[in-house]
Amino acid sequence: MSDTAARKASGGRVSAMGSRRRGGAPPSVEGLPARRAVDRAGGRGGVVEIQRARMIAALVDVVGERGPGGITVGAIVDRSGVSRRTFYELFDDREDCFLAAFELAVQRGAQRVVPAFQTPGIWRERIRAGLAALLEFLDDEPGLGALCVVDALGGGPVALERRARVVDALIAAVHEAGREARATAKPTRLTAEGVVGAVLSVLHGRLSLGDARHNGGSPPMTDLLGPLMAMIVLPYQGRAAAARETSRPSPKRRRVAPVAANPLRELDMRLTYRTVRVLLAIGQLAGDDRLGPSNRRVSEAAGVSDQAQISKLLARLGHIGLIENAGGGPHPGEPNIWRLTARGAEIERTIRLQTVAAES
């Protein structure tokens, strides 16, 4: 990511709102008054990170459908539901957004591969563990995996340079095998480059298929573990070792729940600062009231003092099925009692998780 984009992503243009205590504040939630708890998770900085995550997710989808050459700002904005103005507040251009997505993909892959490779043991077992983790990542998150292996090749010179750094690290890991190679074998770094290039070529071919990228009916990537390990060890430890790798049973695939679709992608409205705070307020206050908070209490916790505005926001959220009114009975003046629907609770939880991830 460019220095400008890094500054933006870290909050260079957006200042988080500090919390303010008010008289008559609602009871505390998880140790914080409701208004302060909403400030903490729903400040402008948190909303910016949520919008940024939505645009990156939209870019991954667009690249999967159109390829890197088909990325446009308009397509990202339309798919994410975030305004064009917000896009340019967070990214310099479409390439900047692509690089942010690429960095995320590398980070997510490294979080799984690096710990597996660093487990104690001989080189061959560590390579096998790291490769197994990589193949599982490609099975679980094919869109991000394809971004690293396939799409970065068409993402421009900066993306190519960053992909080259990742490939160079893989080559260095494989080249360690020279220390354990047979005395008669003298493999050079060029050998490791050829091995890594061959493995990436196989993965590129699989991920370039539409059904593989979209996690469809193609065989799982983990089926390639034995054959790919044979390719890797052959020039270092000979045919017998390669044959043993081919015949070794693959480790039992850990049962991983399918990667849930991001509910924010299908949200039929723009996720504004006030919208986020209202959803968070209802979620926070639901535990205080037997059924849910009133308009007034939502207004206080969300920091939206204009009653006409809070009524409009609540009506809109109710219309799209994120909240429901359990009050408003037959007696005149009976207050509304708001609670999250199942879909609203899922989106509220996603907002919180994305905010926590952005802060970590």
Question: Over the stretch 293-332, which tens digit does the pLDDT of each residue have?
Answer: 888 888 888 888 888 889 888 988 988 888 998 876 555 6
Instruction: Indicate whether 159 and 278 sit together in one domain.
Output: no
Cα–chain-centroid distance for residue 204?
21
Half-sphere exposure (Cβ direction) of 318: Cα atoms closer than 13 Å: 14
Q: Are 142 and 207 in contact (CB under 8 A)?
A: yes
pLDDT digits (tens, 9 = 90+) for 115-140: 999 989 899 999 999 999 999 999 98
Any domain includes 63:
no
Residues 224 and 281 in one domain: no
Q: Which of 214, 247, 280 is the last residue of a domain?
A: 247
Tell me if 48 is assigned to some domain.
no
Least confident of 51-55, 217-221, 285-289, 347-351: 285-289
**d(Cα 336, Cα 309) in Å, to the nearest integer?**
15
Three-state secondary-structure class, residue 347: helix
Residue 140 lies in a domain: yes
Yes or no: say if 163 and 148 are a contact pair by the CB < 8 Å rule. Answer: yes
314 and 181: one domain? no
- Assess if residue 57 is contained within a domain: no
| Confidence at 25, pLDDT banded by 50, 70, 90 | very low
Whether residues 280 and 226 share a domain: the answer is no
Given a cut of 90, is residue 249 above it in pLDDT? no
Query: Are 120 and 195 within one domain?
Result: yes
d(CA 147, CA 178): 31
Closest alpha carbon to 200 in 236, 163, 235: 163
* Amino acid making up residue 308: A
CA–CA dist 300, 293 (Å, integer): 10
State the sign of the Cα–Cα–Cα–Cα dihedral 204, 209, 214, 220. negative
pLDDT given at position 326: 81
The answer to whether the beta carbons of residues 338 and 297 sit under 8 Å apart is: no
Q: What is the CATH number of the domain that holds 187?
A: 1.10.357
The answer to whether residue 328 is domain-embedded is: yes
Looking at the 3D structure of the chain, how many domains does it have?
2
Cα separation of 35 and 27, whole Å? 10
Answer whether 298's CB lies under 8 Å from 279's CB.
Answer: no
Of 112-116, 190-194, 315-319, least confident by mean pLDDT is 315-319
Q: Please indicate, yes or no, if residue 148 is contained in any of the structural domains.
A: yes
Whether 241 and 114 map to the same domain: the answer is: yes
Q: Is the pLDDT confidence value at 99 over 90?
A: yes
pLDDT band at 354 (very low <50, low <70, confident <90, very high): low
* Span 68-78, average pLDDT: 92
- Higher-pLDDT residue of 91 and 22 is 91
Asked if residue 171 has pLDDT above 80, the reply is yes
Q: Which residues contact 98 (CB under 8 A, 6 or more apart)?
A: 59, 63, 68, 71, 155, 156, 159
Domain match, 343 and 229 both:
no
Q: Are residues 201 and 138 in the same domain?
A: yes
Nearest to 327 by CA among 315, 339, 316, 342: 339
Q: What is the pLDDT of residue 4?
A: 44
Same domain, 128 and 216: yes
CATH of the domain at 336: 1.10.10.10
Structure tokens at 340: 């999250």
At residue 288, the pLDDT reads: 57
* Chain length of the chain: 360
**286: its two tokens:** 């639901």
Asked whether residue 177 falls in the same domain as residue 301, the answer is: no
User: 279, 302, 6, 258: which is closest to 139 by C-alpha?
Assistant: 258
Whether 220 and 287 map to the same domain: the answer is no
Question: Residue 122 is part of which domain span?
Answer: 96-247
Q: Is 54 a domain residue?
A: no
Note whether residue 331 is domain-resident. Answer: yes
Q: Are residues 193 and 321 in the same domain?
A: no
pLDDT given for residue 214 in this prediction = 53
Taking the whole predicted model, whether its pTM rises above 0.85 is answered as no
**Separation of alpha carbons 63 and 142, rounded Å:** 12
CA distance 58 to 345: 22
pLDDT over 50 at 6, yes or no:
no
Choose one of 247, 281, 314: the last residue of a domain: 247
